[in-house]
């Protein structure tokens, strides 16, 4: 059992729609420079969440997740970029220059599926989301902020979901 920070937040989704809605709230609160890491088995809902994030962020391009995809880029009218990385097929010892986080983070933000596979190269400050299968239509999502920026982000999401609690 991992030790969870006080400020982590667990969300229980009862449908793909709800997962997408969480993503929309999250996406609407994201800025250039943000790093969102998704961990969870096949079919746990990572891509559904990314679809919501992209929608909330204002992407002009649809989110796709073909099996060969490693890095996708979605645009917004203001020229910002959302980088969608799927680390499933990456070896652990990837070349650092391929994953040019610095460049990506000046142009926009990054969302990483299968982030646990490339933990060594992930920026120290990030939001970590662990997704779990809890039933046919049910998924658990644990949001763990690493850094103040992400602590306030998680608070903002909670507020958007539940109001003043
Ligand atoms: N509450 C839920 N939230 C998200 N997806 C759900 C939920 N209930 C059922 N599903 C279904 O589970 C599947 C999730 O697929 P998705 O592609 O998002 O998973 P993934 O974690 O990205 O998998 P992969 O590791 O293969 O990329 C979809 O078919 C979706 O309709
Ligand atoms: Mg996926």
pLDDT (tens digit, 0 to 9) for every residue of the chain, 165 residues total? 455 667 899 999 999 999 999 999 999 999 999 999 999 999 999 999 999 999 999 999 889 876 677 899 999 999 999 999 998 888 765 655 578 899 999 999 999 999 998 888 899 999 999 999 999 999 999 999 999 999 999 999 999 998 865
Which residue minimizes the CA distance to atom 31 of ligand 1?
16
Count of alpha carbons within 13 angstroms of residue 22, beta-carbon side: 25
Q: Which of 10, 12, 14, 16 has the most ligand 1 atoms within 8 A of CB, as the residue to mutate?
A: 16
Gap between the Cα atoms of 127 and 109, Å rounded: 12
* Nearby residues of 121 by Cβ (< 8 Å), 6 or more positions away: 94, 96, 99, 101
Given a contact cutoff of 8 angstroms between Cβ atoms, the answer to whether 84 and 114 are in contact is no
Ligand 1, from 43, 132, 133: best to mutate by most atoms within 8 Å of Cβ? 43
Assigned token pair, 101: 């986080």
Contact, 105 vs 32, CB < 8 A?
yes
Which residues is 9 bridged to in the sheet?
A: 143
């Amino acid at each position: 059992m991992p030790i969870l920070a006080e400020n982590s937040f667990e969300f229980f989704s009862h449908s793909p729609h709800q997962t997408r809605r969480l993503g929309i709230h999250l996406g609407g609160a994201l800025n250039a420079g943000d790093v969102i890491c998704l961990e969870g088995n096949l079919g746990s809902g990572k891509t559904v969440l990314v679809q919501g994030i992209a929608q909330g962020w204002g992407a002009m391009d649809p989110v796709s997740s073909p099996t060969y995809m490693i890095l996708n880029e979605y645009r917004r009218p203001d020229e910002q970029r959302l980088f969608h990385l799927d680390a499933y097929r990456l070896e652990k010892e990837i070349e650092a220059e391929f994953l040019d986080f610095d460049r990506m983070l000046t142009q926009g933000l990054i969302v990483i599926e299968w982030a646990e596979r490339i933990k060594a190269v992930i920026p120290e400050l990030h939001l970590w989301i662990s997704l779990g299968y809890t039933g046919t239509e049910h998924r658990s999502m644990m949001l763990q902020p690493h850094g103040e920026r992400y602590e306030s982000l998680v608070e903002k999401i909670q507020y958007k979901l539940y109001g003043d609690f």
